[in-house]
Homo-oligomer: A and B are copies of this chain.
Amino acid sequence: MLRIAVLGVGRIGRMHAENIAAHPRATLAGVFDVHMPAAVDISEKLGVPRFDSADAVFASTDVDAVLIATSTATHADLIEQAVAARKPALCEKPIDLSLDRVNACATRIAGSNVPVMLGFVRRFDAGHSALRQAVKTGKIGDLHQVVITSRDPGMAPDAYIEVSGGIFRDMTIHDFDLARFILDEKVAEVSATGSRLVDPGLMERCNDYDTVTVVLKTASGKQAIINNSRRAVYGYDQRVEAFGSGGMAISENHTLNNLRLYTDSHTDQGAPLMNFFIERYGDAFAAEIGAFVDAIEQNRPPAVNFEDGRQALILAEAAIRSIAEGRTVNTSEIG
């Protein structure tokens, strides 16, 4: 049994803690949170130890690995500490909002063979990963275009948006990774378009966008199109399409159940979309823990690594520059 401690038990950290507890080959070694009541609550609920500090976690001989779900600003530090303590780490995205900090972190952990896995959960979704598999096994021939539709069900609180680092580093980052996962070839060019349509005032104030389109192109010409909105009133819209020389695969949305309703005012109406990421990607989050456990048990590199986290951030930086300068940006300008 792999003993995993969870650092940070806000909404997402709690879910990870429960998934670890439920995993057949892992145990929850304990939890830590700077916000004491959150840590107390989950430690009592699940009957596991509560650590007094991150240091205590890294020092503990009862902890084999860590899951980092603290606030973004602490991710890079904790990754470095985990590597120093030789404890494999699964870290929530993004590594950091600053590419410089990410690069510094990369330098510091270079050469270590302690596994660091990034929490790009969408790779573990059954539909998205079946799509990736269909592409990989040639079911749609050579890949030509990827179209990712990714819209949140509602605007996050202003306070969150203000420190989020902007939509590209905070939200699109997932889609950048998903695009890289499916393209399976280095992105060469990035072209982005941003609008302020959902909450123009807030966006103006934060110099941010709530409605964006990004077009990525690889050296061989493969294209990926990402479109994001901070608010889709019909729910969490998560679709991926891969188009190639031999066909097309689409990973469709998930609904709460498979009921269809017909009345005198409408026909063939679907159930509501699963809301929000904790529900929609619930199975994927569990599969992500499984992949982390597998990688450590089998001594294999993790499915999503630190460099994947860095590359996604490079695409975010390129998108920001593309809008600022009204031009296509080459990723070599950033990295």
What residues make up the interface of A, taking CB atoms closer than 8 Å to B?
22, 126-127, 130-131, 134, 139-142, 144-145, 147, 149, 151, 189, 191, 193, 195-198, 211, 213, 215, 217, 221-223, 225, 227, 229, 231-235, 237, 243, 245-264, 266-273, 326-328
Alpha-carbon distance between A268 and B308 when the two chains are bound, in angstroms? 32
A-B residue pairs in contact (CB < 8 Å), sample of 23: A126-B257, A127-B257, A127-B259, A130-B256, A140-B261, A140-B263, A144-B195, A144-B197, A145-B229, A147-B149, A151-B243, A193-B217, A198-B245, A233-B246, A235-B267, A246-B263, A251-B257, A253-B258, A253-B267, A267-B270, A267-B273, A268-B269, A327-B327
Q: Distance in Å from the Cβ of A234 to the closest Cβ of chain B?
A: 4
Alpha-carbon distance between A154 and B274 when the two chains are bound, in angstroms? 32
Alpha-carbon distance between A191 and B235 when the two chains are bound, in angstroms? 29
Number of copies: 4
Alpha-carbon distance between A254 and B252 when the two chains are bound, in angstroms? 13
Residues of B close to A256: CB separation below 8 A: 126, 130
CB-based contact A225/B223 at 8 Å: no
CB-based contact B262/A248 at 8 Å: yes
CB-based contact A263/B247 at 8 Å: yes
Quick one: closest B residue to A209, CB to CB? B221
Given A197-B142, A217-B193, A251-B258, decide whether A269 and B266 contact each other with a Cβ distance below 8 A.
yes
Given A233-B245, A251-B259, A262-B248, decide whether A227 and B147 contact each other with a Cβ distance below 8 A.
yes
Q: Distance in Å from the Cβ of A168 to the closest Cβ of chain B?
A: 15
Quick one: closest B residue to A228, CB to CB? B145
Q: Distance in Å from the Cβ of A22 to the closest Cβ of chain B?
A: 6
Given A196-B221, A213-B215, decide whether A267 and B272 contact each other with a Cβ distance below 8 A.
yes
Residues of B close to A211: CB separation below 8 A: 144-145, 221, 223
Residues of B close to A229: CB separation below 8 A: 144-145, 243
Q: Distance in Å from the Cβ of A311 to the closest Cβ of chain B?
A: 20
